[in-house]
Amino acid sequence: MASPAPEFASLAEIAESVRSGRISARAVLSQALGRIRELEGDLHCFNEVTAEVAEADADAVDRMVRDGQDPGPLAGVPVALKDNLCTKGIPTTCSSRILAGWLPPYDATVVSRLRGAGALLVGKTNLDEFAMGSSTENSAFGPTRNPWDTGRVPGGSSGGSAAAVAGGIVPLAFGSDTGGSIRQPAALCGIVGVKPTYGVVSRYGLIAFASSLDQIGPFATTVADAALGLEVVAGHDPMDSTSLERPAPSLLASLAEGVSGLRVGIVEDFLSDGSECGAAVVAAGEALASAGAKVDEVTIPELLLGLPAYYVIAPAEASSNLSRYDGVRYGLRVDGPDTETMNARTRGEGFGPEVKRRIMMGTYALSAGYYDAYYGQAQKARTVVIRAFEAAYRNFDVLLTPTTPSVAFPFGSKTEDPIEMYMCDLCSIPSSLAGHPAVSVPFALSPERLPIGVQVLAPALGEAVMMRVAASLEAVAPREARGPVTP
Amino acid sequence: MSEQERFISPDEVRHVARLARLALDDDEVGRMALQLSAILEHVDAVRRLDTADVPPTAHPFPVENVLRSDTETPSLDRETVLAQAPRAENDRFRVPRIMGEAP
Amino acid sequence: MTGYPVTNYETVVGLEVHCELATATKLFCGCRNAFGDEPNTNICPVCLGLPGSLPVINRRAVELALRIGAALNCSPRRSIFHRKNYFYPDMPKDYQISQYDEPINVDGWLELPDGSRVGIERAHMEEDTGKTTHVGGGGRIHEAGYSLVDYNRAGVPLVEIVSRPDIRSAAQARAYVDELRSILVATGASDGRMEEGSLRVDANISVRPLGATEYGTRCEVKNLNSLRSLERAIDYEVQRQIALLESGERVAQETRHFDEGDSTTHAMRSKEEANDYRYFPEPDLTPLVPDAALLAAAAEGIGPMPAERRRRLSGLLGEDSSLATRRDGSTDQVVTVVDLGLDELIAGAVAAGADPRLALARAANEAAANPEEARRLDPRAFAALIKMESSGQLSATQSKEVLSELMSEGGDPIQIAGRLGYEQMDQAVLASMLDEVIAANPQEWRRYCDGDEKVAQFLLGQVMRASKGRANGKLVAAAFASRRGSF
């Protein structure tokens, strides 16, 4: 049974202590590295622990402090990054055999911004291979374990990052979210996870899964910390054509403004009878009403189209994005008498079963004779979902749903049937299709004492109001419902 | 054809696998046919949707004309890049003989 | 070319011309766009298609694409990019970013020197591939032992110009490519060097019985590296197809490879099924809208097109000449005075009173030897020189000498002529030379006086020799004629 671990100091406090010289970045780092030594054997959060890199980062921060320079708003904060974010000279594998040992020759924009803000890169975290999955069981390097119960999954695909925060190793981690891959693990691990509006955070250097859906976002134990993490990495990037031409959103200032007068809609369609996750959402609604919000139920049945549409669009884009792994320029090569055979053998051996399934599904959905029926239709279904949200947001400022239909499940319990695993994304997919922001906030514990997250949805560029509502929920949620915990 | 083969047959699976350059053995082909059929059945709701007046969405937001200026930026160091190549020769990437011509 | 009479069949040809744009950098990244650099030195994460990289469109490439469209009388359109998915080692992403059913330029035409028009279906943008060299084995690619890939060219911006099947002969096809190249060079959009690969031609060839309205089955022929190859390929392919039809067989729709060795085409041994490119809209890029700024930049500095300039010059010269200088020996391409930018010079000289035919001749033959210097000539100085020659003041030889000096040093042609000693010979000196020649050659003189014109050349030559070339041939001939007349 997991026990509560000491809370982290807030990111702002850590940075302030380091910047003022009260504590060295090295000292902060050694806490994180100590925790890794203690827990990594049980949890397997990391594909690569980058202690030397972090020590060099820490030394640089401490030097700047000594020289009277400002290392930045995340000075000395140890950070873990999902292993699908390119880190120059540091192995980046997407938890796939096909990229085992690959060293990117460049940093993702998000990575540059974090290090530029004084953060210390502690390691690259485990994920479902190429971000495809909801449990991290699809990793080619073995799964990550949930700190709340090591016989259960941490969620996915960003399971390693979620577990690293939930296990008290790092106060801030980053993952990627395509259909729920930040939010669902956040919910299963009792921490905060944010998917920003599509285009708010640069995708340059994020190894692509589904280009029109992927976004990078933070994990933290509090809403304020997640907000700060997001502020640091967000904002226009000329290297990403889909990056919105806006500066980073300002979130911290309005966090404590409360929810008085806000219109909150509980999406009925995602509340199935008797589910503990649904009950948590209802309770969350009541809490917000007590805090002065106007809370109502709303039904948006079109959102249920989201899951089937997503499972056409995402694999279709993925099948194209993953074509480049052909054994020619980098990564695994399995030899053959000719290039075509070499390609097929390399990909046959280098990709795991879920990745292959999605590549096949995507290739089929785009192929001659099927494009209109599948991809074409799915892009129209996407429009239907977007319009349904637009209609709802005329009457509501934010929407509430469960983050995911179930709490952390035991290993192997959903691997027989791919569809069962896909259902984990039911509540998180619609906002991904619409490009809207969403956040998961830990709000309750299940009878088995497993964390339950509530999802707050807002319209595009509604991060500020969304985080306000999340902060309000956090303020009344039981302390025991959130991490960090020690397994 | 059985119920489950209704959506995709093993032959179609082989064809798609060739398009995707994925080597699948016979067992895998059989399993893939079943699993893909299940997925296709699940997403059939999308196929049957009446979308008469609905345009497709390719991008969540209607941004246009994102362009960059025609100015040179530094290239990568060749040695660094070739060091990652599975096989290199004469400053180029080496591949086994290519059977087909470029389309 | 032995064979079947072509008279019962009509040749139908459409041409696809790929043109590399003369931008400083590639289409989607800032790597240098240059021919002939050391292999794999102009590469970056984007054009190498490294995991995590993203494309960003080069504004200049769009301007040049619009410029080409305008020069070909196309309508500019809102356009998007599509992914064309196929595997090939020279394709870093194993998909090419191209344009499919929403291209940037549509529905234009190109006018040939003989006045006929060829329709242009579209002129769209796409990225170029890398270059493969095949090592070992025999000549053909699939006989090679292995291949080596250079990605310098990957990502270079291309415009693909697709004609309608309006071309009816090999000669017309050749004229089309010549004219298209002239236009592309005149717009500054491309340097049009077929020998360097910045201009590549594929031909779609079919035949049909004379009078038929339906098109026959067409074959695409690739590997046409010169205009000669283009003509020969069309000739061979037309004969081949006619032979098939005449013997009751069908023409198979296929892609064929032109063999430079024996000027034949044969079916390409490409793998299995025809390519299913699974086109879908490129999610990493935004649509292109030809707004006022782009259209203005496209139109900037674009003068009249070659056809228009040829028309003006022909009108001025009062003749319908081809205005050709030569066919370049190595590139086998026609180069006209308009191509060389000398039409302004000729027009200016004629306006200043120079004889049009002589002005054209001197410009096309002598001045064209150094086009850069020629373009700097002052049309009035050029006119003065031409007048000196047509009046007989200077011989042709002398005129060319003066022109050469005028081009390299500038100045006043009259003064140059003087400096070179080319002033008019003293009439008395000339008369005495005639006396001497007549006296030395009495038999020839008698034959000339009897009306034998052939001997006039001999007599003329004698005077030229005596004067060491200084005498003006026309004046000498006139002097002889008037002497005879008075006999």
pLDDT one-digit tens code per residue, A237-259: 999 999 999 888 899 999 999 99
Cβ(B43)–Cβ(A312) under 8 Å? yes
Cβ(A57)–Cβ(A121) under 8 Å? yes
pTM > 0.80: yes or no: yes
Residues 451 to 470 of A: which have CB under 8 A from any B CB?
A: 460
Percent above pLDDT 70 for chain A: 100
Any idea of the CA torsion for C331, C337, C339, C341, to the nearest 10 degrees? 140
Tens-place pLDDT, residues C219-258 = 999 989 889 999 999 999 999 999 999 999 999 988 999 9
Return the half-sphere exposure (C-beta side, CA atoms, 13 A cut-off) of residue A427. Answer: 31
Tens-place pLDDT, residues C332-372 = 666 778 877 888 899 999 999 999 888 988 988 888 888 88
Tokens 């079943």 found at:
B34
Inform me whether the C-beta atom of residue A369 falls under 8 Å from chain B C-beta atoms.
Answer: no
Instruction: Clarify whether A157 is annotated catalytic.
Output: yes
Q: Which one, of A97, A86, A130, lies nearest residue A327 by Cα?
A: A97
Domain containing residue A142: CATH number: 3.90.1300.10
Residue where a domain terminates, one of C419, C451, C470: C419
Confirm whether A183 is domain-assigned. yes
Distances (CA, A) of C374 to C284, C362, C382, C409: 48, 11, 10, 11
Q: Which residues contact C330 (CB under 8 A, 6 or more apart)?
A: C195
pLDDT band for position C321 (50/70/90)?
low
Residues A363, B98: C-beta atoms closer than 8 Å: no
- Run of H or E residues at A66: helix A51-66
Confirm whether A473 is domain-assigned. yes
pLDDT at residue A142 greater than cutoff 50: yes
**Enclosing domain of residue A42:** 3-257+458-486
Q: Which residues contact A156 (CB under 8 A, 6 or more apart)?
A: A127, A128, A133, A134, A135, A136, A137, A138, A181, A184, A185
Q: Which residues contact C375 (CB under 8 A, 6 or more apart)?
A: C340, C341, C342, C345
Cβ(A264)–Cβ(A285) under 8 Å? yes
Q: Is there a single domain that holds both residue C327 and residue C264?
A: no
pLDDT band for position C425 (50/70/90)?
low
Token duo for residue A87: 């880190």
Q: Is there a single domain that holds both residue C395 and residue C434?
A: no
Question: Which pLDDT belongs to residue C319?
Answer: 65
The Cα C150–Cα C156 span in angstroms is 13
Q: Chains contacting B with at least 3 CB pairs below 8 Å?
A: A, C
Q: Which one, of C25, C280, C277, C282, lies nearest residue C128 by Cα?
A: C25
Question: Which pLDDT belongs to residue C1?
Answer: 43
| Average pLDDT value for residue range C418-437 | 79
Q: How many C-beta neighbours within 10 Å does residue A121 have?
A: 21
Percent above pLDDT 70 for chain B: 94
E strands, A105-260, where? Answer: 120-125, 172-177, 192-195, 215-220
The Cα A487–Cα B20 span in angstroms is 42
Instruction: Clarify whether A472 is annotated catalytic.
Output: no
Q: For chain C, how many structural domains are there in total?
A: 3
Tens-place pLDDT, residues A124-140 = 999 999 999 999 999 99
| Average pLDDT value for residue range A70-84 | 98
Residues C87, A326: C-beta atoms closer than 8 Å: yes
Q: Domain segments of chain B: what residues?
A: 4-48
Q: Is there a single domain that holds both residue C407 and residue C479?
A: no
Tell me: cis bond preceding C98? Omega within 30 of 0 counts.
no
pLDDT at residue C486 greater than cutoff 60: no
> What is residue A175's three-state secondary structure?
strand
Chain C residues whose beta carbon lies within 8 Å of the beta carbon of residue A339: 89, 147
The Cα A231–Cα C344 span in angstroms is 61
The Cα C410–Cα A443 span in angstroms is 88
Percent above pLDDT 90 for chain A: 97
Cβ(A197)–Cβ(A216) under 8 Å? no
pLDDT band for position C11 (50/70/90)?
very high
Token duo for residue C164: 């309608």
pLDDT at residue A316 greater than cutoff 90: yes
Tokens 């999605």 found at:
A358
Using CB atoms, which residue from C44, C141, C281 is nearest to B75? C44
Residues C56, A238: C-beta atoms closer than 8 Å: yes
- Full strand arrangement of the beta sheet holding B88-89: B88-89, B92-96, C146-150, C131-135
**Enclosing domain of residue C216:** 9-299
| Average pLDDT value for residue range C387-409 | 88
Question: Which pLDDT belongs to residue A410?
Answer: 97
Q: Which one, of A118, A13, A116, A111, lies nearest residue A74 by Cα?
A: A118
Distance from CA of A349 to the nearest CA of C (A): 18
pLDDT at residue A293 greater than cutoff 50: yes
Using CB atoms, which residue from C48, C95, C278 is nearest to A329? C48
Question: Which pLDDT belongs to residue C324?
Answer: 63
Confirm whether A17 is domain-assigned. yes
Of these residues, A17, A24, A82, A202, which one is catalytic?
A82
Using CB atoms, which residue from C143, C270, C276 is nearest to B100? C270
Percent above pLDDT 70 for chain C: 91
Question: Which pLDDT belongs to residue B48?
Answer: 92
Distance from CA of A418 to the nearest CA of B (A): 8
Instruction: Clarify whether A319 is annotated catalytic.
Output: no
Confirm whether A167 is domain-assigned. yes
Which of C25, C40, C48, C53 would best serve as a mutation to test chain A binding (most A beta carbons within 10 A)? C53
pLDDT at residue A178 greater than cutoff 60: yes
pLDDT at residue B1 greater than cutoff 50: no
* Nearest C-alpha in A relative to B55: A380
Confirm whether A436 is domain-assigned. no
Which of B21, B72, B91 would best serve as a mutation to test chain C binding (most C beta carbons within 10 A)? B72
Chain B residues whose beta carbon lies within 8 Å of the beta carbon of residue A242: 59, 63, 66
Tokens 């994180």 found at:
A32
Residues C146, B71: C-beta atoms closer than 8 Å: no
Question: Which pLDDT belongs to residue C114?
Answer: 84
The Cα C472–Cα C33 span in angstroms is 54
In sequence order, the β-bridge partners of residue A400 are A266, A456
Q: Which one, of A175, A91, A78, lies nearest residue A120 by Cα?
A: A78
Inform me whether the C-beta atom of residue C271 falls under 8 Å from chain B C-beta atoms.
Answer: yes
Token duo for residue C132: 């493969």
The Cα A389–Cα C291 span in angstroms is 32
Residue where a domain terminates, one of C241, C267, C299: C299
Cβ(C96)–Cβ(C142) under 8 Å? no
Residues C280, A316: C-beta atoms closer than 8 Å: yes
* Nearest C-alpha in A relative to B28: A353
Chain C residues whose beta carbon lies within 8 Å of the beta carbon of residue B67: 56-59, 62
In sequence order, the β-bridge partners of residue C158 are C20, C126
Q: Is there a single domain that holds both residue C121 and residue C255?
A: yes
pLDDT at residue C5 greater than cutoff 60: no
- What b/e readout covers A375-412, taking b as 16+ CB neighbours within 10 angstroms? bbbbbbbbbbbbebbeebbeebbbbbbbbbbbbbbebe
Confirm whether C194 is domain-assigned. yes
Output C301 or A469, whichever has higher pLDDT. A469
**Amino acid, single-letter form, for residue A335:** D
pLDDT at residue B95 greater than cutoff 90: yes
Estimate the share of chain C in helix, then strand, then coil, as percent rounded to the nearest 5: 40, 20, 40
* Count, residues in chain C: 487
Q: Which one, of A194, A197, A250, A195, lies nearest residue A222 by Cα?
A: A194
The Cα A31–Cα A168 span in angstroms is 10
Q: Which one, of C189, C201, C146, lies nearest residue C16 by Cα?
A: C201
Question: Which pLDDT belongs to residue C271?
Answer: 47
Of these residues, A139, A181, A428, A431, which one is catalytic?
A181
Distances (CA, A) of A335 to A352, A384, A423: 18, 46, 38
Confirm whether C138 is domain-assigned. yes
> What is residue A462's three-state secondary structure?
coil
Q: Is there a single domain that holds both residue C139 and residue C261?
A: yes
pLDDT at residue A184 greater than cutoff 50: yes
pLDDT at residue C315 greater than cutoff 90: no
Estimate the share of chain B in helix, then strand, then coil, as percent rounded to the nearest 5: 40, 10, 50
CATH superfamily of B4-48: Glu-tRNAGln amidotransferase C subunit, N-terminal domain (1.10.20.60)
| Average pLDDT for chain A | 97
A354-368, C143-157, C449-463: the lowest-pLDDT one: C449-463
- Run of H or E residues at A78: strand A78-82
Q: How many C-beta neighbours within 10 Å does residue A237 have?
A: 25
- Run of H or E residues at A297: strand A294-298
| Average pLDDT value for residue range C193-207 | 92
Q: How many C-beta neighbours within 10 Å does residue C327 have?
A: 12
Question: Which pLDDT belongs to residue C144?
Answer: 67
Chain B residues whose beta carbon lies within 8 Å of the beta carbon of residue A199: 60-61, 63
Q: Is there a single domain that holds both residue C248 and residue C370?
A: no
Confirm whether C1 is domain-assigned. no
Whether the complex's predicted ipTM is more than 0.90 is answered with yes
Confirm whether C3 is domain-assigned. no
Q: Is A80 exposed, middle or buried (0-12, 13-18, 19+ CB in 10 A)?
A: buried
pLDDT at residue A17 greater than cutoff 80: yes
Q: Is there a single domain that holds both residue C276 and residue C218?
A: yes
Domain containing residue C436: CATH number: 1.10.10.410
Token duo for residue C456: 């006039």
Q: Is there a single domain that holds both residue C293 and residue C317?
A: no
E strands, C341-391, where? Answer: none
Tens-place pLDDT, residues C134-164 = 998 765 665 669 999 999 999 999 999 999 9
Residues 131 to 170 of C: which have CB under 8 A from any B CB?
A: 132-134, 137, 141-151
Q: For chain A, how many structural domains are there in total?
A: 1
pLDDT at residue C424 greater than cutoff 80: no
Q: Is there a single domain that holds both residue C287 and residue C312?
A: no
Q: Which one, of C328, C319, C333, lies nearest residue C346 by Cα?
A: C319
Confirm whether A364 is domain-assigned. no
Using CB atoms, which residue from A198, A238, A344 is nearest to B60? A198
Cβ(A87)–Cβ(A165) under 8 Å? no
Tens-place pLDDT, residues B27-63 = 999 999 999 999 999 999 999 999 888 999 977 788 9
In sequence order, the β-bridge partners of residue A195 are A438
Inform me whether the C-beta atom of residue C478 falls under 8 Å from chain A C-beta atoms.
Answer: no
The Cα B15–Cα A225 span in angstroms is 49
Inform me whether the C-beta atom of residue C101 falls under 8 Å from chain A C-beta atoms.
Answer: no
| Average pLDDT value for residue range A220-231 | 98
Confirm whether A46 is domain-assigned. yes
Q: What is the bridge-based pairing of β-strands B67-68 and A485-486?
A: unpaired
Runs of H (alpha helix) within C38-77? 59-71
